[in-house]
Amino acid sequence: MKVTVVGAGAVGASCAEYIAMKDFCSEVVLVDIKEGFAEGKAMDLMQTASLNGFDTKITGTTGDYSKTAGSHVAVITSGIPRKPGMTREELIGINAGIVKEVTENLVKNSPEVIIIVVSNPMDTMAYLVHKTSGLPKHKIIGMGGALDSARFKYRLAEALEAPISDVDGMVIAAHSDTGMLPLLSKATRNGVPVTEFLDDAKQKYVIEETKVGGATLTKLLGTSAWYAPGAAVSVMVQAIACDQKKMIPCSLMLDGEYGESDICLGVPAIIGKNGVESIVTISLTDEEQAKFTEAAKAVREVNGDLKF
C-alpha cells in the first residue's frame, strides 16, 4: 500500500515517521513545495530504517505529483501552522488555496485515493476538499478528533492520577478552541464514569485544558505541535490500510447526523479499507447537543469565507 503525505514539515514528517515505524505500508511519498526539503526528510528518515527496524520505503519529491500516482491514501498537511495567539481560523486565507491546489494534483494522479485532511482550519479545509475534489464522501476524512481525544485522555489521566491506558474518552464537534466538545459524560476509567471520581473543579479543568490543548503547545513551542498530530494521522492511515474498522472521531461530511447537513464536523466513525465505513450515532445530552449545534454554526460561518 502506497501513502502520500503532502507537506514535509513538522506534522508531515512526524506522520511519515510513525507510519514507517509501524511498518504496515510498502511506500510513503513525501511531497513539499520547498526545493529539496521532502527529498531531504525522506533520506533522513530512510537512514533510521536499519536503526528502527522498518522496511517501508520513504521517498521525497519537490512537487512532482507523478511520483504519487496510485496512492491509496493521501494526507494533506501542507500550509502554514499557527503562531502563539493565533486561532486556527486565521489560517484560512493562505491554506485554502494550498489545499485546493494540492487536492487537484492528488486526485489527478490517484483517482481512487482516500484523503485525510490535516491543514487548518481543518473542518473547513475538509469541507473544501469535499466541494472541489469530486471524490465520494466516504473518501474524505478530517483529522481532529483523534488528536483532541488523545489530549482529552492525557488530561483525564492527569486529573485522575491514573495511567493513560485506564482512561477512555472522546472529543467531537469542531477542531477549534471554542467548538471542541470533550464528552465528559461518556468518559470512563476502566468502565466507571470519570464523573464518579472528579469533582466539579477537576471536571472543568479537564474540559478547558483539552479545548486549549493545541494553543497551550503553540505557546510553549512557538509553533503548533507535531508528535501527537503525526501519531493521530498514523492511527487513521493504519485503520484504512489494515481494514481495522476502528472507531475514530473524524471530521466528516454530515447528511442529517447529529442534526446537521452540508458541513464537516467531528463525529465518531468506523474507519476501514473504504475510508469511512459508517458514522456512529451516539446519544448526546441536551447540553452536548446544544454545544454541537453551536459549534456547527461557528464552522459554517468560517466555511462562508471559502471561494470555490
> What is the four-CA torsion angle of 242, 146, 305, 219, rounded to 10 degrees?
-130
Q: Which stretch binds ligand NAI (CB under 6 A): 3-11, 19-27, 53-61, 236-244?
A: 3-11
Q: Residues 5, 29, 65, 81: which binds ligand NAI (CB under 6 A)?
A: 81
The whole-angstrom separation of Cα 238 and Cα 233 is: 9
CA–CA distances in Å: residue 236 to residues 26, 228, 233: 16, 13, 5
Task: Check the annotation: does 155 bind a ligand.
Answer: no
The whole-angstrom separation of Cα 132 and Cα 124 is: 12
175 is catalytic: yes
Longest distance between any two alpha carbons in the chain, whole Å: 56
| CB-nearest residue to ligand NAI | 9
The whole-angstrom separation of Cα 167 and Cα 161 is: 10
Which residues 82-101 are close enough to bind ligand NAI by CB under 6 A?
82, 91, 95, 98, 101
The whole-angstrom separation of Cα 284 and Cα 48 is: 45
Which residues 97-156 are close enough to bind ligand NAI by CB under 6 A?
98, 101-102, 118-120, 122, 143-144, 147
Q: How far is the CB of 209 from ligand NAI (least distance, A)?
A: 16
Does residue 79 bind ligand NAI (CB under 6 A)? yes
Q: Which stretch binds ligand NAI (CB under 6 A): 46-54, 151-159, 217-225, 280-288?
A: 217-225
**Pairing, β 167-168 against β 188-189:** antiparallel
- Which residues are known catalytic residues? 175
Q: Residues marked as binding for substrate?
A: 82, 88, 120, 151
Which chain residues interact with ligand NAI by CB under 6 A?
A: 6-12, 31-34, 37, 77-82, 91, 95, 98, 101-102, 118-120, 122, 143-144, 147, 175, 223-226, 229
